[in-house]
Amino acid sequence: MISPTARAIFLMLLGLPLLVGIALLRPELWTLSAAWIGLIGGLIFLDAMIGPALRRFETEVDAPTILYAGGSDPLPVRFRFTSGALPSRLEVQLETNEILEDLPSRGLRGWDGNERRYEFTLTPLRRGTARLVRLWCRWQGPLGLVQKRLIRELGTDIVVTPNIRWVKDEAVRLFSRDAEFGIKTQIERGDGSEFDALREFTTGMDRRAIDWKHSARHSSLLAKEFRTERNHNIVFAFDTGRLMSEPLGGVPKIDRAINAGLLLSYVSLRNGDRTMYFGFDARPGLSSGFLSGSRSFPKMQSLAAGLDYSTEESNFTLALSTLASQLERRSLVIIFSDFVDTISAELMLENVRRLTERHLVLFATFEDEALSSMADAPPETTEDVTRSVIAGTLLAERDVVLRRLQRMGVQIIETRPEQFGGALISRYLQIKKRDML
């Protein structure tokens, strides 16, 4: 598409007083009016002819096959003119759907031969299917009188899944040689571990692990090695209701919970435990059944990607009752949820209490940084005082709910999003070590 620029329109209007004056005072000089129009029109036509041509312009988009919620990925694009002149400035803009963060238009300068490379940054706002709709490109001619625009229909769909990249990085760190989880291969007796083997006692080992009877028999110090019990049931119950679908630091809470859950899934599957995903909002949704073995992790990833957002209130009575009916043996049930006050949490507390009669429950939630910042803000105005009092009241009610959960025997994790995955892994290892299952 070719259109005149604001400069061309201004030049054409610049001769308007002359044209009006000739029409009113000297009509016989109408040829001057025609000459002005012809001059500007000729310059516009010349600019269109000598400038970079639309038919010689090509674009190449290398779209990624997958995007991760809470992360950013590059989208390499190559702009190329097969021949002819090159524009001094190429303006580009990428049109996407609501899943991706809006991208502003960019003005690109400088060419490498006859091509220019650029990388857009794709940032998903939530899980789902992102779509690259169109790529808009435009440039001006050498005289700045003509603007040429090319619209390329892309129609490319990209699946946005939980942030497995972060999970893999954390898993590598946890299972690396220098990680704490990798160093501590021996667990003390009496902490719910199983006997594995005898080995020669060496410096640095716990003296309480020495087996004196076998040491006397073999005339050398022998120590017992223990291993963590396996085949425990780990249930991940994800609340996908309205509160968990709200953003926290630009990322929905449920996405942050899923990332931490996937990390713990990887660790627990590798440790020989069995894992299960359960999702609910106003009614029970996903129920995966128990999976075991490291090869089941891709399946867990695809199941987590299917946990959709919801605007409905969560029905804990129906959800936790359904979950309890599906569990045949004692399990570690990790509930990823949130609440506002004691009234909204009353049904949750009652149903969690019933679940604790047979299972070990871990309630995982995020620290409400917004309320904390408002409660701790300096009272400079009356509005600040009012806001601080209300925030302090809500935080106090939140503490009441968490204390009631603790009195029921529920394990509690309440921390910031960046520390959530690490806190979850630490609590899991602590539960395994103490043989609480």
As a whole number, the mean pLDDT across the chain is 84
Own/partner contacts of 193-196, CB < 8 Å, gap of 24 or more, are 193/226, 193/227, 193/228, 193/229, 193/433, 193/435, 194/226, 194/227, 194/228, 194/229, 195/224, 195/225, 195/226, 196/224, 196/225, 196/226, 196/227
Distance (Å, whole) CA 120 – CA 89: 17
Distance (Å, whole) CA 171 – CA 175: 6
Please report, as a single letter, which amino acid is at residue 391.
A
Tens-digit pLDDT profile for residues 53-93: 888 899 999 999 888 887 889 999 999 998 888 898 999 99
Average pLDDT for residues 409-420, to the nearest whole number? 90
Looking at the predicted structure, is the pLDDT value of residue 298 above 60? yes
Res 188: pLDDT: 40
Task: Please give, one letter per residue, the 3-state secondary structure of 238-262.
Answer: EECCHHHHCEECCEEHHHHHHHHHH
Res 179: pLDDT: 46
Spell out the domains of the chain, with CATH numbers in brackets: 1-161 (2.60.40.10), 164-182+231-433 (3.40.50.410), 193-228 (no CATH)
pTM value is: 0.69
User: Is residue 275 helix, strand or coil?
Assistant: strand
Res 134: pLDDT: 93
73: closest CA among 151, 152, 132? 132
- pLDDT band of residue 107 (cuts 50, 70, 90) is very high
Place of tokens 């609501």: 98
Residue 182 neighbours by CB distance under 10 Å: 12
Place of tokens 């001619």: 141
Res 178: pLDDT: 44
Average pLDDT for residues 275-283, to the nearest whole number? 93
Cα angle 411, 413, 415 (rounded to 5 degrees) comes to 165
152: closest CA among 167, 172, 138? 138
Find out whether 146 and 4 touch, Cβ atoms under 8 Å: yes
- pLDDT band of residue 322 (cuts 50, 70, 90) is very high
Tens-digit pLDDT profile for residues 7-25: 888 887 777 777 777 777 7
H/E run at residue 228: strand 222-228
Buried b / exposed e over 314-330, threshold 16 CB at 10 Å, is: bbbeebbeebbeebeee
Res 361: pLDDT: 95
Structure-block tokens of residue 14: 């610049």
Find out whether 391 and 335 touch, Cβ atoms under 8 Å: no
Classify 204 in phi/psi space as left (phi over 0), alpha (psi -120 to 50) or beta. left
Tens-digit pLDDT profile for residues 152-206: 999 999 988 887 776 766 666 665 544 444 434 444 443 445 566 788 888 767 7
Name the phi and psi angles at 260, rounded to 5: -65, -40
Structure-block tokens of residue 271: 């440790």
92: closest CA among 154, 155, 142, 45? 154
253: closest CA among 238, 234, 275? 238
108 CB-near residues (< 8 Å, 6+ apart) = 79, 89, 90, 91, 92, 116, 118
Decide the pairing of beta strands 411-415 and 360-366: parallel
Average pLDDT for residues 353-379, to the nearest whole number? 87
Average pLDDT for residues 340-361, to the nearest whole number? 88
Please report, as a single letter, which amino acid is at residue 387.
R
314 half-sphere exposure, CB direction, 13 A CA radius: 29
H/E run at residue 400: helix 382-407
